[in-house]
Structure 1
Amino acid sequence: MTRPVHRVAPSTDGPIRQDGLRAHNLVLTFRQIAAARDAPISRSELAAATGLTRPTITRIVDELLAAELIVEAGPSRSGSSGRPRVGLSLARTGPAGLGLDIRADVLSACVVDLTGTVRHLEFTRHSGAIQAGAAQAGALQTGTARSGASQTGADAVLAQLAEMAGRAIRAAATENLTVVGATLAVPGPVQDESVVRLAPTLGWRNVPAGATLSSALGLPAHVGNDARLAALAEWYAAGQELRDFICVSGEFDIGAGLVLDGRQLDGWAGELGHVMVRSDGPPCACGATGCLQGYAGLAAILPDAAGSPAVAIDALVSAGDPRILKALDEAASALGVAIAGLVNLVKVDTVLLGGGYALLASWLIDGIDRELRRRVLSTAWSPVEVRPAPLGPDAAVIGAALSAVDRVRHDPNGWLARRPH
């Protein structure tokens, strides 16, 4: 099964025209090839899986081969006799997706091909615009931020991201890859995959990031929540074997991506950082008080590390700084309280600690697990495993790139239409 990130509901309003039937059968066939990640799939296996005739499969496969969307593997025999089996798999050239991400210490850009393989990954220290925007976060909660201040900071960051994207697109072209779209991961809620409604820790409000990047790059650009995109990447990296899990990411903000029954939950906001854990807690940049962000955000755990967990880990290993150790213990307890509330609402068996938390997992897991055992009603017969996410801080940008190329994986007809005949 392919990742259902972008679903298209089948139309039942009328008969399917001949051209629509062709497009439908092509998508059906292509998805079967994309889903066969462990081993190439043969034409006969495609016919059996799709219910299409062998001549139809042959025509579709020839079209996909000509478009360089798939490749043929070397012939092999399934037994001692019979015709050799020629497998089909996704091509590592052709369409590619571009991901962009804003972290506490760097900006990142990533390109993945149709197979989901990372082909380019770049990091750049961001300008002071992010710190200036974050300084506006406190003013946002009181409504005293200067008009246009957050937009000015956002424009500077988006311009730097566009420069990185240009380099990534050129690097991809040298490997015969064509970037078909971009996705930006942001720490906050997004509307219509384009407008960042509010990213408190960045100081952004109503920023049209998708349209800005699309204009700068000359290709479709979308925006997504960083935690949801991180969960997508971790799910893909796990071979989609994880069925019910939460990926909790800590970078600028604390977010959660949720996958249930092997499907990423649509409409899931994922703003775990703004769940209240203490009613008498400190004010948050979102305007509320007692948010998880104030206890378990990286700025709370690592106040002297400029948001870079790697710096703080060096300090922990070399000196065992008691202030940081105490902050980690408090963060673990607060995270456990918030996650327990979520697990009591939705049944999952795994919690992945992603983003900066992946690097700090050794100091967080015991405290989180302690709270889950105390607070989750089903833990006695259905324990929840807490472990570091394999992709860690890179997950959001990889997930963003996967989201961009997944539009072709979901429906390659657009790619076929743009190619010269």
Structure 2
Amino acid sequence: MTATPRLHTQQDLRRANLAAVLYAVVDGGPASRARVADRIGLTRTAVSTLVDDLLAAGLLAEAGLGHSGSPGRPGTVLALSDQGPCGLGAAIGVDHLAVCAVDLRGRVRARAAVDAVNRRSRPEPVLERLAGLIDDVTGQLTEAGLRPAGLCVAVPGQVVRDGTRVVQAPNLGWRDVDLAGRLPSGGGPLKVDNEANLGALAELWIGDPVCRTGDVLHVSAEIGIGSAILTDGLLLRGNRGFAGELGHVPVRRRGHACGCGGRGCLEQYAGEEAVLRAIGLDPVRAVADHPGPGGRVGYLAGRAEAGDPDVLRALRGAGTDLGIALTAAANLLDPHVLVLGGALADLAPWLLPAVEAELGRRMGTAPPLVVSRLGADGPLLGAAHAVTRAVLDDPLRTAQPTG
């Protein structure tokens, strides 16, 4: 979903029309030229010219004959290409690195991930290791006839709006780190964004349909807690691009010190490490014993399912504090739905009762709360899809005039 462009030149008009053709296939599925023309309200002659350019650029592919829905001979069906440009997405976590590639049809075509202790690590070795994963995935793409159209990196921290500089990532220990020129992007542009923002965009593009209309508050709960606000399909970024730092909303007046410099922040009571501390585990040791976010969350889920009273008590406490912060956010923003994503979405059966009870007690009628189907993969998938969406939004960069 994109904002309506302001058209000033013939080039702007052509860019918009090329994008309209592509989104007609994205939103409505494979179709003939005639069906595409009907969907977007252009003449069949105009659509045919646009389609020829998109075919030549490798953005569309012909997929056999099919009926257009109108009288006459069957037309050639057009589909998004499964070769040509694709999106590279990467995620830098506190305890893992991951890269994936998504084609224009939205399918994951290659993926690589490693467990890595990135907390308090200098950026250089982390980025070097991530670059190696990107090279591995790019090599797989070449064999599949795909080429990266750019790279988008999800980071657990504040990123300069429309920039590549990480202002601060408290759980990594990074401050003022610019990723420009430090990662291979396949010749395309490099984008860097907050992981919660990309998780929310993934929900918009490939997640629960409830996220595609109205106002949505998406909470990404892992070691840290972030959130993002979607309003009618657009991401609310704020003045500096830092909107959505729910994890650093204070829920205790004189609480634990937080890596952001404050005290009593939500993530100190409702994040993954808070739950581990509450059951008597050292979070650093737990990372070593149960590597990767899925390892620790799976461990907690197993103990909760077995009825472990300490784990159940810790998850109730985390859910209560999360409910307090969500109440403040919901009263301020009045969203039509709340979405719980990130690794802790796998603990929803034990978290949600306390969250919903707190919301109900404090708000009376609270927005519905749904659990992301994407879970911990949301930011990574959102990063890859951000690149493919940029291609779909501006095909002119790829689809140059033919002949």
TM-score range, shorter chain: 0.7 to 0.9
TM-aligned CA deviation for residue 263 of structure 1 = 3.0
Correspondence for 1:208 among 178, 186, 189: 178
C-alpha separation in 2, matches of 1:55 and 1:386: 47
1:196 to 2:166 alignment: yes
Please show how residues 20-419 of structure 1 align to structure 2 within 5 Å: 20-36=12-28, 39-77=29-67, 82-126=72-116, 128=117, 130-133=118-121, 153-191=122-160, 192-214=162-184, 218-238=187-207, 240-242=209-211, 243=213, 244-267=215-238, 269-303=243-277, 304=281, 305-306=286-287, 308-318=296-306, 320-376=307-363, 379=365, 383-417=366-400
C-alpha separation in 2, matches of 1:264 and 1:65: 31
TM-aligned CA deviation for residue 116 of structure 1 = 1.5
Cα gap change, 1:46 to 1:81, in 2 (>3 Å) = closer
Q: Which amino acid aligns with 1:35?
A: D
* TM-score normalised per structure 2: 0.87
C-alpha separation in 2, matches of 1:420 and 1:310: 53
Q: Alpha-carbon deviations, 1:371-418, whole Å to 9, x = none? A: 1111225x1xxx42223210101111010011122110111111234x
C-alpha separation in 2, matches of 1:420 and 1:56: 15
C-alpha separation in 1, matches of 2:62 and 2:90: 32
Cα gap change, 1:120 to 1:282, in 2 (>3 Å) = same
TM-aligned CA deviation for residue 241 of structure 1 = 4.5
Aligned residue for 1:315, secondary structure, equals helix
Cα gap change, 1:373 to 1:218, in 2 (>3 Å) = same
2:290 corresponds to which residue?
none
Please report the RMSD computed on the Cα atoms of aligned residues, expressed in angstroms.
2.4
C-alpha separation in 1, matches of 2:61 and 2:39: 19
TM-aligned CA deviation for residue 333 of structure 1 = 0.4
Cα gap change, 1:79 to 1:172, in 2 (>3 Å) = closer
C-alpha separation in 2, matches of 1:21 and 1:11: 6
Structure 2: gaps (5+ residues): 288-292
Cα gap change, 1:53 to 1:78, in 2 (>3 Å) = closer
TM-aligned CA deviation for residue 239 of structure 1 = 6.4
TM-aligned CA deviation for residue 78 of structure 1 = 5.9
Sequence identity, in percent? 37
Aligned residue for 1:131, secondary structure, equals coil
TM-aligned CA deviation for residue 272 of structure 1 = 0.8
TM-aligned CA deviation for residue 232 of structure 1 = 1.2
1:141 corresponds to which residue?
none
TM-aligned CA deviation for residue 73 of structure 1 = 3.3
Cα gap change, 1:385 to 1:8, in 2 (>3 Å) = closer
Aligned residue for 2:150, secondary structure, equals strand
Q: Is the 8 A contact 1:99 1:182 kept in 2?
A: yes
Q: Alpha-carbon deviations, 1:326-348, whole Å to 9, x = none? A: 22111100100111111112222
Q: Is the 8 A contact 1:166 1:217 kept in 2?
A: no
TM-aligned CA deviation for residue 284 of structure 1 = 1.0
Q: Is the 8 A contact 1:277 1:337 kept in 2?
A: yes
Q: Alpha-carbon deviations, 1:230-253, whole Å to 9, x = none? A: 111122223644223222112232
TM-aligned CA deviation for residue 420 of structure 1 = 9.7
TM-aligned CA deviation for residue 79 of structure 1 = 6.4
C-alpha separation in 2, matches of 1:231 and 1:300: 23
Deviates more, 1:171-180 or 1:26-35: 26-35
Aligned residue for 1:366, secondary structure, equals helix
Aligned residue for 1:107, secondary structure, equals strand
C-alpha separation in 2, matches of 1:376 and 1:370: 10
Q: Is the 8 A contact 1:103 1:252 kept in 2?
A: no
C-alpha separation in 1, matches of 2:165 and 2:151: 14
Q: Which amino acid aligns with 1:31?
A: Y
Aligned residue for 2:258, secondary structure, equals coil
Q: Is the 8 A contact 1:357 1:388 kept in 2?
A: no
Number of paired residues? 383
1:147 corresponds to which residue?
none
TM-aligned CA deviation for residue 47 of structure 1 = 2.5
Cα gap change, 1:254 to 1:32, in 2 (>3 Å) = same
Q: Is the 8 A contact 1:182 1:404 kept in 2?
A: yes
Q: Which amino acid aligns with 1:121?
A: R
Cα gap change, 1:77 to 1:26, in 2 (>3 Å) = closer
TM-aligned CA deviation for residue 28 of structure 1 = 3.1
Q: Is the 8 A contact 2:220 2:342 kept in 1?
A: yes
TM-aligned CA deviation for residue 217 of structure 1 = 5.8
Q: Is the 8 A contact 1:361 1:387 kept in 2?
A: no
C-alpha separation in 1, matches of 2:88 and 2:187: 13
